Chain A
Amino acid sequence: MSLTVDPGTLITEDWRLHGSVYTDPEIFAAERERIFGKCWLYVAHESEVREPGDYKTTFAGTQPVIVARGSDDGEVRVLINRCRHRGATVCQDEKGSANFFRCAYHGWTYRNNGDLRGITYDDAYTTLDRSKLGLVRLPRVDSYAGFIFASFAEEGPSLDEYLGHAKRYLDIIARQGPEGIRLSAGAHNLTYEGNWKLQVENTIDNYHFGFVHRSFMEVLAERIGQAPPIMKKILHDPTWRTIDLGNGHAVHEFGDPETGNNQGQLGDLPFNLIVFPNLCFVGAQLRHVLPKRANKTVVRLYPIMHEGESDEQNAAILRTHEGFYGPAGMGGPDDIEIAFDRVTDGMEATEDDWLVLSRGLERERRAEDGTIVGHAADEVPQRAFYRGWLAAMGAEVNR
């Protein structure tokens, strides 16, 4: 769709960001087309569709899809979850095993490779070309380190090129368990009345931790009998770094990316990672951010279980996850209230409608591999995300 505003004017050269980026339905509509219609989008982990006939329902960006492993050929396909007859979603369960799908509205039946297999009372159709009425398949599906991505774009960079410097970190995540990882615990979902980018930015924002999560820090201090090291590390440890990985991706390393630890009882991933546009890793979870409207977002949080570890060890991962991120956790609800709800409320004020994303701009430096490295509490990841955003939205990226 045509956008009446040039997206390049929404971010200044000194990194001020216009509030309409979070609130304008027209910008959201353009994002649907230019970002979610073109980028590689995470849809599933291979452990969720392990066997032929397994399927999962989710969203490729904003659009409902079925990720299905073919019954006879074992190939993973991503099918639009929309009956070709009258548009109902065909599959409802978050996961299941089915070699055929039958729409509950009028009984149209599809193979799990998408082909239309049959229509109820079909004598009423004499000229219908059934071969053109299969569930629509996304043209490109690929996986890296077990993470399955799909794209609505027929052409474009390969997944390998798109992930670029983020691949190293996905490899490390895939090795968290002695025999790999699985998303077998399912997800818990949260919904907030705010823009999807708020969650992605917040995932990799260290600056807020000592403020939004102050009450958790106090509990943590009691648990460990001293001031938690996490804030001191964020502010002063030079091995804790934020890095613009290119293509909108960014990481915050807690020291060595293989062995680091946030030291905050948040889960044991050695870094936080965002993969543009809407895949995040934090604590011990994969976080899938699902935009619904300019001011509505659903987030699915999947605790990462370790293959090759005991049920007790995996249960401990879940308890730690719940302790901070769960609905009654000591961190997640604070992020929703302050980082999403209050920001959305504040955005109603538009007199001087510009945010500031320049923290640490003068002290970030470009590394030999082209990445941009900054301090842990700086807004390098937010700028990384918006460089990717500008490029995807068709603006010149000169900042």
Chain B
Amino acid sequence: MSSFHRVEDGTLYLASEFASVSVAIDTTGNGPRLRITNQQNGAAILLDPLELASLTWLDHERLGPFLDPSQTGWSSNQGAPE
């Protein structure tokens, strides 16, 4: 089910029927970054402003490789992450 909520520290939780993630500003380093955490397995990535700005150049077709499960979390070489 789709859902969306925000907790007091500003972390956002977004879910669709396919995935569930949290999104928060990370300030543990010298500059701000966006932390995206997969709520299903705890995997996380920190994205800096240049990476985020570069994402805006993409359309969904070009994001496709990241959605190919064998190229990301479900490769026989890696085993199951979740």
Report A's interface with B, CB cutoff 8 A: 53, 71-72, 91-93, 95-102, 107, 109, 111-112, 117-124
Contact = CB atoms under 8 A, between A and B. Distances in A.
A71 B58 CA distance: 12
A109 B69 contact: yes
A120 B60 CA distance: 20
Interface string B15-26: 011110000000
B68 A109 contact: yes
Interface string B70-81: 110011100000
16 contacts: A53-B60, A93-B2, A96-B2, A97-B16, A102-B18, A102-B19, A107-B69, A107-B74, A109-B68, A111-B61, A111-B64, A118-B64, A119-B69, A120-B70, A122-B70, A123-B70
A137 to B, nearest CB: 17
B1 interface: yes
A111 B66 CA distance: 12
B23 to A, nearest CB: 16
B45 interface: no
A119 B70 CA distance: 6
B2 A117 contact: no
B39 to A, nearest CB: 15
What are the nearest 9 A-B pairs in CB distance?
A118-B68, A120-B74, A71-B60, A122-B70, A120-B69, A99-B60, A93-B17, A100-B67, A72-B59
A359 B73 CA distance: 66
Contacts of A124: 76
Q: Is the interface of B mostly helix, strand, loop or mixed?
A: loop
A179 B62 CA distance: 37
Contacts of A100: 18, 60, 64, 67
Contacts of A118: 64, 67-71
B7 interface: no
Contacts of B16: 93, 96-98
Nearest to A123: B76
Q: Name, among A72, A117, A122, the residue most crowded by chain B CB atoms within 10 Å (CB to CB).
A: A117
Given A118-B67, A120-B70, 10 more contacts: A72-B60, A93-B17, A96-B16, A102-B19, A102-B69, A112-B60, A117-B64, A117-B67, A118-B64, A121-B76
Contacts of A123: 70, 76
A113 B79 CA distance: 29
Contacts of A91: 17
Nearest to A111: B64
B54 to A, nearest CB: 18
B55 interface: no
Contacts of A120: 69-70, 74
Contacts of A97: 2, 16
A129 to B, nearest CB: 16
B63 interface: yes
B12 to A, nearest CB: 15
Contacts of B2: 93, 95-97
B81 to A, nearest CB: 11
Q: Name, among B17, B19, B71, B75, the residue most crowded by chain A CB atoms within 10 Å (CB to CB).
A: B17
Given A72-B60, A93-B1, A121 B70 contact: yes
A99 B16 CA distance: 11
A48 B81 CA distance: 35
A92 to B, nearest CB: 5
Contacts of B69: 102, 107, 109, 118-120, 122
A109 B70 CA distance: 10
A100 B75 CA distance: 19
Contact of A92 (B17, B60, B70, B71): B17
Contacts of B59: 71-72
Nearest to A72: B59
Interface in B15-68: 16-19, 59-61, 63-64, 67-68
B67 A109 contact: yes
A118 B65 CA distance: 8
Contacts of B68: 109, 117-118
A91 B16 CA distance: 10
A120 B80 CA distance: 10
A72 B19 CA distance: 21
B18 to A, nearest CB: 5
A124 B70 CA distance: 11
